[in-house]
Amino acid sequence: MTDPFTSDGAKMPPKPFTIEEGRRQVRSFVLRQGRFTPAQQRAFDELWPRFGLDYTGAPRDLDAAFGRPAPKVLEIGFGNGAALRFAAQHDPSRDYIGVEVHAPGVGRLLNALDDDGSTHVRLYHHDAVEVLEHEIADGALDEVRIYFPDPWRKKRHNKRRLIQPAFAQLLVRKLRDGGRLHAATDWADYAEQMWDVLDATPGLINRAGPRGHVERPAWRPQTHFETRGQKLGHGVWDLLYDRESGIGNRESQGQLPASPG
């Protein structure tokens, strides 16, 4: 099959992240692009101008990007886009922003959004930490969703996990007062780390109480992988946090891992 990234006349998918000389950054993802189909390449060629947001590193007017003022929901690391598509189909009153570094998943969702005739979804093919730091204004988001981030199972790789104190502080800055953070994982050790970090983050209130989780909300569809895991006795933890009002936006401290999205 022709390589979609190098074939003559093909539009190369946008770079998922930028490289800064002299700076080493711990990333919470590995670029395994997988099989990139001709249909997914066509999606980048034809649909990116309609649904895509090119990373510029400068603050973005999100209302202008969508052509309307509406609540904004950000999903980090949307994978194949099933949850983001489901949410957009069932909630046209809000604008949805998806961030994902893996090109095949982005291409697949572009085609799905075209099939749906969506007008309220925009996508970044970029590192979500950089998007949050440089393109999203403080207090601009009504909700952030992070579903099944890479658990980095080996202990020596735990530092690559996305949910770290500095990242949690960044999310607090970007959420509006009264906004919401929804994280889900099927890895018990990662759920414990999420509680350790998020329960201790000023400005976040666990809706289920300390070290608590909720039943899967209706806005998150159950995946085939999740269904299979539950049949095998595997757990899934949905963590829901409210962004406390009256907490000032702070500068995050410490090194941020790059995200999976």
Q: Which residues are catalytic?
A: 150
Cβ contacts of residue 88 below 8 Å, gap of 6+?
A: 96, 113, 116, 118, 120, 121
Instruction: Tell me phi and psi for residue 162, to 5 degrees.
Output: -65, -45
CA pair distance 83, 81, nearest whole angstrom: 6
100 known ligand binder = yes
What is the arrangement of strands in the sheet containing 95-99, beginning at the earlier edge strand? 121-124, 95-99, 72-76, 141-147, 175-185, 237-243, 204-206
21 known ligand binder = no
| 3-state DSSP assignment of residue 22 | coil
54 known ligand binder = no
3 known ligand binder = no
Q: Quote the tokens at residue 27.
A: 């990333």
Q: Quote the tokens at residue 58.
A: 């400068």
Task: Please state, as a whole number, how many other Cβ atoms lie within 10 Å of the Cβ of residue 21.
Answer: 4
SS (H, E, C) 207-261: CCCCCCCECCCCCCCCCHHHHHHHHCCCCCEEEEEEECCCCCCCCCCCCCCECCC
154 known ligand binder = yes
Task: Answer whether 157's CB lies under 8 Å from 124's CB.
Answer: no
75 known ligand binder = yes
Q: Quote the tokens at residue 261.
A: 């999205």
127 known ligand binder = yes
Residues belonging to the binding site are 75, 100, 127, 150, 154, 186, 223-226
Residues belonging to the binding site for S-adenosyl-L-methionine are 75, 100, 127, 150
